[in-house]
A and B are shown apart, each in its own frame.
Chain A
Amino acid sequence: MEESQRKAYWQANIRLVLVLLAVWFVVSYGFGILFKEALDAIDLFGFKLGFWWAQQGSIYVFLLLIAVYAWQMNRLDRQFDVHED
């Protein structure tokens, strides 16, 4: 594999990870902790919204993030021809 290709693959990987980690941070530390009080003013089907993010919402998003990562990385692997078998 060529050096430039290798670099491009790694950078695409880093970019994807950073975007996903930004979402990871916003839903848990942002919605669930830092802005929890402000969001609590909003009612979501009987839950205060900030409380819901901390005890439910963030977990669903975490799962979604890993799904997106696995899917996108498999795509990247094929695109750069570094996939297995």
Chain B
Amino acid sequence: MTLQTMTYIAVGLSFALYIGIAIWSRAGSTRDFYVAGKGVHPVANGMATAADWMSAASFISMAGLIAFLGYGGSVYLMGWTGGYVLLALLLAPYLRKFGKFTVPEFIGERYYSKAATIVAVICLIFISFTYVAGQMRGVGIVFSRFLEVDLVTGLLIGMGIVFFYAVLGGMKGITYTQVAQYCVLIFAYTVPAVFISLQMTGNPIPQLAFGSELTGEGVALLVKLDQVVQELGFNAYTLGNKSTIDIFAITLALMVGTAGLPHVIVRFFTVPKVRDARRSAFWALGFIALLYTVAPAVGSMARLNLIDTVQPGTIGAPEANLIYEERPQWFKTWEKTGLLSFEDKNGDGRIQYYNDANPEFTATAESYGWQGNELNVDRDIMVLANPEIANLPNWVIALVAAGGIAAALSTAAGLLLVISASVSHDLCKGMIAPNLSDRSELMIGRIAAGVAVCIAGYLGANPPGFVSQVVAFAFGLAAASLFPVILMGIFSKRINREGAIAGMVTGLVFTAGYIIYFKGVFIDPIGINTAEHWLFGISPEGIGAVGMALNFIVATVVSRITSAPPEAVQALVEDIRVPRGAGVATAH
């Protein structure tokens, strides 16, 4: 069977499964639609949270990023898992006890202010759309490479599926679909990793294999990789090239940002009890860790495999590089997508891959007769191409395609729901028409989800040039705006409306300003985006950590000099600190 037929079967079967689950678990009420009737088992909720969280970025991009960043890629590994510790210990149980549907709802009630709700809704919608656009790009990449349909057709199919189960099933449909999607994506991620680990080191466990000795070479994988990349002019793999303070700040911003992302927080509203919220956080991180501990193994093996492919002989010897005409089949197929390209700069018909941006390596490269790096690899293709580079059977490659789509769709659906809940519940019901009936609110929620799907699809087809920049935005804003006010709302009774709004606005303006100044999201960048121009040497990716600190300081100071929150709000804070009495769960 050809690869394409097999991919059609794998993807088609997975789609049929998702649709089947959506029909089985339709939403009947707003409660079902927003929080799945608060009746989801902690293990199922943990699995759904994991699928929700692990987006196209985690599945498709992360290992590729690590492959090229080496130790520098650790910021994503620690940042995107460590945030769950904050979430589990500081937010999830209390927000579950609070027992409402959305994050802005908590902020609005705790800070007795419609202005606070509006600021929170704006942050939420901006963060969520940024994210959705990235997912749609992921869907596009997978469709254009494996199904060989054009991007727009691929997007329309993806949008149709998401529309169907998000709009019909709401949170209930999404949760159970995500459980299935988790199974598909984790299987698709680990199977090739196990194969490749076995092939390269003889050890089937990827987490151990990337420290093991390479088969028949008597040298450890990471040691060999360090040595080879340095011989090609790159920094040592286990060293990376970011400053310590920047790594520190980025890790912190990603951790806090993770804990402040509305689509992650809302998952903990869906379990029956406070106790289950704690348990659910454990399961969620467990299921996430399964992929996140495999990713660095995949990254290092992919890098070594790629180098071994284009540089089969001793580095520097004239005939040691791969002849372009003899390139393998996967190379040709990826060339067609434009995500992999070769330019024969020195006209020898062979592929040279090295770091031509390293001035210390220039002389060495020239002595080899190399006139610049000739291979450009988009980081996003590493995970998808890895099984092909390692010559794994076709069914594994088809599985990876289905897994990539599962990762993108599950996250997109979760985000769309958060957007639609915010529009129908916080804006329409909360602000415009408080007397809205349950039925009409559900209808508005469905329409909002439909509109959001269309906008997301449009963004996927016409990706704004700044998709990669705005990812820093999403995490930075979540870290600098939402996380601190939620945290202080639970752990301090003294923080009041004035303090929270001042804090959120300060964090938001500072972080957004800094990122726009250096990265120019809607305008041309004003500053030069290099380490010597950064504040304390912190890059725009990590500035959310500083924004968060400012938020805390401003909120505390402003609250001190204005009057304490009303009695009722202080009583609310007392109440959410104690588990007993959390809303009764509905069975289904």
Contact = CB atoms under 8 A, between A and B. Distances in A.
B307 interface: no
Interface string B260-292: 000000000000011100110110011001001
Q: Which of B89, B208, B244, B285 has the most CB of A within 10 A?
A: B89
Contacts of A38: none
B542 to A, nearest CB: 12
Interface of A: 1, 6, 9-10, 13, 17, 20-21, 24, 28-29, 32-34, 36, 40, 44-48, 51-52, 54-56, 58-60, 62-63, 65-67, 69-70, 73-74, 77, 82-85
A59 B77 contact: yes
Nearest to A34: B244
B558 interface: no
Contacts of B384: none
B85 interface: yes
| B contacts with A: majority SS | helix
Interface residues of B, number: 49
Given A34-B244, A55-B296, A66-B285, A83 B222 contact: no
A62 B81 CA distance: 7
Contacts of B93: 73
Nearest to B247: A33
A33 B248 contact: yes
B244 A56 contact: no
A47 B278 contact: no
A84 B293 CA distance: 35
B234 to A, nearest CB: 16
13 contacts: A1-B578, A13-B577, A36-B71, A45-B211, A45-B212, A51-B71, A59-B81, A60-B293, A62-B289, A66-B278, A67-B282, A69-B278, A84-B582
B285 A83 contact: no
The 10 closest A-B pairs by CB, nearest first: A46-B211, A54-B74, A70-B278, A46-B220, A47-B211, A55-B296, A66-B282, A51-B238, A66-B88, A82-B580
Contacts of B274: 84
Interface string B49-91: 0000000000000000010000101100110011011001110
Contact of B248 (A1, A20, A29, A66): A29
Contacts of B85: 20-21, 24, 62, 65-66
A62 B212 CA distance: 24
Q: Which of B238, B252, B274, B577 has the most CB of A within 10 A?
A: B238
B220 A59 contact: no
B89 A17 contact: yes
A32 B252 CA distance: 13
Contacts of A32: 74, 78
Contacts of A44: 211
